[in-house]
């Protein structure tokens, strides 16, 4: 059985047996990871709520003719279910769950794309002397673009309600 001293003697003295050093991450890396996580979380949340509302709408809409046939004397139930469908659709439109889901997912995937290109030093990152600065510019550009689209949607929605 080898002793610790014997094992140490088998390793190269210059450290070649150790794993390569981890690349130094740029300061923008934390912001990039935070943004990827935020957009991923918000996309999943919007998707979940959108699908829930749509499933309830579909099931409710399908039950109206069944209830109307089974209990024609209780038409108020069908009317209430129809009103529920309108309320659910209004909530979906108010919170823009579908468009948020797709926009947030798109931004998240674009940020991931930039992250992997930077890590591989591929594309523009391989052709520039300052890949960290380019990453910062692209991350901020994507986040600003998403914010501008969101602000525009909010402005349009406010204009329509007045």
pLDDT digits (tens, 9 = 90+) for 43-57: 999 999 999 999 999
Is residue 2 one of the residues assigned to a domain?
no
The burial class, CB within 10 Å (0-12 / 13-18 / 19+), for 131 is: middle
**Is 96 inside any structural domain?**
yes
Digit-coded pLDDT (tens) for 52-95: 999 999 999 999 999 999 999 999 999 999 999 999 999 999 99
SS3 of 13, please?
A: coil
pLDDT at 24: 79
pTM for this entry: 0.76
pLDDT of residue 26: 87
**161 in any annotated domain:** no
In contact, 86 and 60? CB cutoff 8 Å = no
Check residue 88 and give its pLDDT: 98
Q: Helix, strand, or coil here: 114?
A: helix
The answer to whether position 153 is within a domain reads no
Domains in the chain, number: 1
Examine residue 56 and state whether it is found in any structural domain, yes or no.
yes
Residue 125 placed within a domain = yes
31 lies in some domain: yes
Q: pLDDT-derived band of residue 149, with 50, 70 and 90 as boundaries?
A: confident
Q: Choose among 18, 43, 6: nearest CA to 146.
A: 43
Q: Which domain holds residue 82?
A: 27-145
CA distance 125 to 112: 14
In a domain, 7, yes or no: no
What's the DSSP call for residue 70?
H
């Amino acid at each position: 059985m080898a002793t610790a001293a014997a094992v140490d003697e088998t390793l190269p003295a210059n450290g070649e047996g150790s794993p390569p050093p981890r690349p130094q991450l740029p300061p923008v890396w934390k912001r990039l990871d935070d943004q990827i996580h935020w957009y991923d979380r918000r996309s999943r949340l919007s998707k979940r709520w959108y699908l829930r509302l749509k499933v309830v709408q579909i099931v409710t809409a399908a039950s109206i003719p069944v209830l109307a046939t089974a209990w024609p004397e209780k038409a108020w139930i069908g009317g209430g279910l129809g009103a529920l469908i309108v309320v659910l659709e209004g909530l979906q439109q108010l919170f823009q769950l579908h468009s948020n889901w797709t926009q947030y997912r798109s931004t998240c995937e674009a940020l991931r794309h930039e992250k992997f290109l930077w890590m591989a030093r591929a594309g523009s990152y391989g052709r520039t002397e300052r890949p960290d600065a380019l990453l910062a510019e692209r991350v901020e550009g994507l986040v600003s673009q998403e914010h501008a689209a969101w602000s525009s949607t909010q402005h349009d929605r406010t204009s329509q309600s007045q």
